Structure 1
Amino acid sequence: MPPPGHDQIQREELSRLFGQLVGARLLLVPLVLAAGAWMAWVDPTGWRRALLAAILVTVAAFFIIEYVRFRRRGGLAPGQVRINLVAAVVGQMTLTAATGGLGSPFIYVAVLLAVIVNVFVRPPVSAWLTAFQVLAVWTFAVLGATGAAPLELELLGGAARRPPPVGLGLGLHAGFLTVVLVSIAFAGRAGRKVFEAILRRALAAQQDSLRAYAERAEELTALSGEIAHELKNPLASVKGLAGLLAQGVGPGKPTERLAVLRQEVGRMQAILDGFLNFSRPLVPLVLDDCDVAALAREVAALHEGLARERGVAVEARGAAVRARCDPRKVKQILVNLVQNALDASPAGAAVELEAAPAPGGGARIRVQDRGPGLDPAVRDAAFSPGFTTKASGSGLGLTIARSLARQHGGDLVLSPRAGGGMVAELTLPATPAGAGTGAVA
């Protein structure tokens, strides 16, 4: 079984390469039209003139249409590649028949087409096209030897330029072309197999590397969770002892230092809580039909005191928006977003929470600030574990928030705000993805 992505990469690369041929063959249209028109003009045979005119107009129109289609769609589907090559082989042999059979200057175009067919098309289609080419070559040889159909062009010398016996010469010519066409078929098939084997081995190696990386990351995540869990209890003891010491110390520097100590221990506990949330699996959703606008107002009320200390306003607006979600997890997402917005906002600014129905059902909550925003070059990295622009940040808040959003089947995206700042938009679907596995409140 081929590794994931094998067939898609092969289709995309072959489609891209064939697209270049689609563009290149347009350059041949004027040459083919000129050569065919000259032959039709010089040769007096009426059926040949009519056939050449029909073939040349059809081939030119087909080339142009396929080129326009390729440019519009940015590629060709595997079925279109086969259709193109079938049309090319049939058209080339028909043109060869109309311009002299084995004596036609277009007969050796079959060799080039055989190479392209066996590179871009898998068996059995490539085998059938090669068989058609060989059959056409021997048909031309038989018709030329028996004189059953006047294929030779008088302007190219016709039968007069072939010394007797004519049948032997045509047979040798047809045999030579057969050997060449069949050899190309086998070589093309072997080359395609080599290409597929190289691609398969490269993708398998990539999958092995990704699997090893995922296993290593899982081990490190579990280890970080264990370390964080082991450190929480000692830190709680340190914080408690610092509080007891503060009660027995009068005002002055010792009290201030103990307050700083407790503050730093609290910050360390918050970082450890982030590691624990990141390392443990997401628990199933506990779904409830709730008003997300009310959740936004509740989160805004929770941060009023912190916002007032920093000279920032927190505003929540929007009519009732019902959504089926896990209110605890949605609240956790909003708390993280509002804290980030408060950290980024300058004094005198406002953090705005806006709830509204999402297009197609569900709900949408935006948390907007007037901070400096994020550089577009690092905006996508903001959700990567460990990425932070804060001096004291853990770099896990947005990672966990997006994981919770996607557990619902929604998403969390960041975008620049008009006039400066950032917009964090949480979308929740009408039917959460975890609806079938979570509990129901």
Structure 2
Amino acid sequence: MFQDDITTFINNLYIYLLSEEKHISGLLVKKHTGNLQKQGDFSFPNTVKSWKEYLNCDQLQNDLKVSLLQCINKNLTNLIETSQNWDIPVVKAIELNERIYLHIDRFKAIQLCFHNASINNELALQRLGATTNVINLDSSCKETNCITHLRLKILFKVLQNLYLINVYPETTDITVTWKSKSNQPNHKSVFCGTALNAKTGLKENDITADEYVSIRQNELTLIAKHKYGVRVSTEAKWKDFIASLGESAVAFELLQTKCTSPVKIEFDASGGSSKGAAFILYNCARLETILRAFNEKVDDGVYPQLPLLEETNLSLLTDEDEWHLIFNYVMGLPSLLKNSVEINKDKCEFRPHLICNFLSSMVKILSQYYRRVRILTEPRKHLLPVMFARIHLVIILNNTLKLCLRILNIKSVSQMYRKFILFTLLVQKVQNE
């Protein structure tokens, strides 16, 4: 099991409110994703009506008009005091419109999160290095050069990764198919939705999978030509990089729609369909650039060595975007991975589109943070502690992005000619200046 700090906090809160750990469906305790400074990190309704089915008979004898905390003979001060024994305590709790809003101890949360994120990343990579025979490709789906079959093959590999990373017992065979019904006994199946032409709404049979990849590669070539000039179409390194980036753009596009639903594809360049994966990889390159530049300055004696995580003052990570990235994406990763697969007696569902959504929203905040905050500073003594804390943050964020890309079988920047793309980013920086 991955270390899931958010789920642990929510479970502690349920135990506090209900005096025992219970399986709670729905969103009685809500984890917030935005406006964290004002609204807090979590909230829950403070009405008996909302919790009625989880309270015992003695508690329900009280007037239903009283608040939940009154019903269980507790208050906000008691909640804060009790939480001091949790791994992540509450530092502030307020009531507004019959709802309790909780602010957690950010420093303790970051310390715990960074420690557990390193453990989780190592464990995830270890699991992804294994193999499984549980996920199989439907052999009756005749292989063709159509886009739907390309989606089927891409899904097959990603579903294997999701199965491995969640460590399900290998007791059930799962078949990935585009056929709505499977006649195989004792098998579960995952349906792969058809690739549709967005303009016609019909299954795309005229444009082959190879042509589709070529269209995305051409889109990216035009973008690169506009920025870097004619050499893009003539230099071998550019061609190889654009080829890999085009394949990544296609994989991301086919995965970002729920796998059981049809995916609508825009084939003209004006749709900007390649930008999703390209923007994610571009932000990976930004992180790689920062780490590479930092290590070069360490080698040159400009900066001292990065101190160990335990010796770094993480309380200096006070920027709201830093907390947003940590709370929603680093701490949120274990829940994402768990929610991406659901296999039980009645259900067999994979949700790789959740990882695509996660990456897209993460890089928006990351890009905003990168443009606003200067991470590498002058090597002055009073500036170094903040920079060290931020370098550790960059390492954690970089590992988070690369792990998600690994699950989606999309090559990271470090795999796609890392030195080359870092050079192109440097060129772009010079051009912008």
Aligning the two structures, in what range does the TM-score lie when normalised by the shorter sequence? under 0.3
- Name the larger-Rg structure: 1
TM-score by length of 2: 0.18
Q: Relative contact order (C-alpha < 8 Å, sep 6+): which is higher?
A: 2
